[in-house]
Amino acid sequence: MTSRRIRLVIFQVAPASWVVRGLEHDIVAEGRTIGGAVRAAVRFIDAQTQFDRRHSHPPLSVFPPASQRYWNAYASGTEVPIEQLGVESPEEWELHAAFATRLPAEEHVRRLPYLMPQTMMG
């Protein structure tokens, strides 16, 4: 089988609370430790892949890509081999991980009030 890739961004949301988000497929896992959060993500990826295969679906196809802020957090983060965290990639998946130094806030688009064109009086 061909190897599929998923990048994981890891960030801390509170003391003893770590979150992992998938980029290519927007999955979420939590744990009390970094390794625990990554292992939870790997278990989910593996279980969902097996489920999808049994039902003749492409693995993780129901999960769209993550929002841009997570891609940005990954790109500006520090990459770490998941093996260094004591975690192995599930069969047929190539996993990459990065620690986000901070998770940027979602950017909101501000709507400007509609201004009526002014006519020249003269």
Geometric angle at alpha carbon 103, from 83 and 39, rounded to 5°:
30
Q: Pick from 81, 76, 73: which is nearest to 97 by CA?
A: 81
Please list the rounded mean pLDDT of every run of 10 residues in the chain (122 residues). Answer: 86 94 97 96 96 96 96 95 90 93 56 44 45
Note the pLDDT of residue 91. 83
- pTM comes to 0.81
Judge whether 116 lies within some domain: no
CATH code of the domain in which 8 resides: 3.30.160
Judge whether 113 lies within some domain: no
Judge whether 109 lies within some domain: no
**Domain count for the chain:** 1
Judge whether 111 lies within some domain: no
Note the pLDDT of residue 71. 95
